[in-house]
Structure 1
Amino acid sequence: MKKLLLLLFTSLSFYAQSDSLSIQKPKLSVVGNDGMKVLYRGISNPISIAVNNALSYKISGDGVSQDLDGKYAIRPKSGNETKVLLEIQTTDSTTVVEEHVFRVKPLPLVSLLVNKKGCINGDCTIEIQKKELLNAEITVKLVDFLFDYNITVKGFRLYLTNSNGDTLASFDIQGNKIPQDIYNEIITNEKTSLIIIHKIAFDSDLNLSISKTPIIKIKTI
């Protein structure tokens, strides 16, 4: 009898523990940015949303917006993470609320390049042969940026300085290359010590602005 009672109590205990277990169901929705849970502060980050077994859904969260084409984006304002909530009306007429958490990063450092040579967010001096300056291409790069982007340089300022730092000549150039006439000015001005490029104008599909345009200084060799 004692053995039977012990067996009975053991069985009841086992089933009681099984009833208390919680099974986490897989989410109905996926919210992502190129498969990564990362957003950049200060720009509109496009996101994609996929929901299974849903009649409809609503999305909400800090900085969430929808354009005229129905595409969603998130523009985080502060903090190291942000949350997106999806309220889903399922096909069996139940309401499910799911939370998606994104890590928020600051915008990366900006690098200004001349023929793919340059520096990161600040003043630097690079050495370039004079002949390389003809049609030299000026580009802007976001360092270690995780997503695809396009930044097209539309214009820049170039000026020549002597060894004392005095300005010898200044040119506002349209486009992203040093043209023939400016190149001629550079190679004929014997007092030129440094060529300085700054005040970049550009177009970007990221809808961003650079508060402080980096400066690049060129020493010809």
Structure 2
Amino acid sequence: MIIFLLFLSILLVFSASPKCPHGFPLHFERKPTALNNYTKDWCIAVVEYEGMGNRDRARSICITINATLTMPENKEEFIAIAKHVQARNKSTPHAIDGEFTPRCKVEMYRNQEFNGTAEKGECNVHNHLFNFDDVNTDPTFILSHFTGGVPNARGSNYGTGHPTFQYVADCLVLENTKSPNYTAPIGVTDLAYCVGAASVKTYTGSLFDLKREISSVLCGKRPE
């Protein structure tokens, strides 16, 4: 009898469904692949906090709750996140994982005609254009649903007798989670400035506004 009860206990332990930690209401079952580090289950929270346009602040918020910057892996996950955002009236857009590599940003500064979609080398959007914190999420879906080109916002400051300083929107954000067309996401990925700066002043005295109000971030972690 004791052996039988022990056997049942072992079965219950191994058959129990993964449970997401407190504060992570979204649980996703995934197909394990090499691109998502063979992850079967993943938990996501949409965390609201001011200043999430600054990527280091957004990253710190996730680390504080023992999580990492993350993103939806497919259309179904995006729809679930959109429903969650709509039901709770959370702020949009959302900071998500992914920022241009320094090497590719240099290529953009050198080549004003740089096109991350048409680029043949490592800086193609589907190659190594981005660095990611989250090794448990396949970024293919996100990198296939941009709202515009890559990069889609850039500029420079210059003046007579002074060097030219360039800047480019370099961090990924998730859009359209409150759109009525969210059930058929076409453009859900956009770019914002990682620094989250309010503006950049030129030598002529004009201001270029770089700020984008981003007050929420997607954090992810494995279930308990």
Query: Is the TM-score greater than 0.5?
Result: no
Q: Which has the larger radius of gyration?
A: 1
When you count strand as a share of all residues, which structure comes out higher?
Answer: 1
TM-score bracket, shorter-length normalisation: 0.3 to 0.5
TM-score w.r.t. the length of structure 2 is 0.32
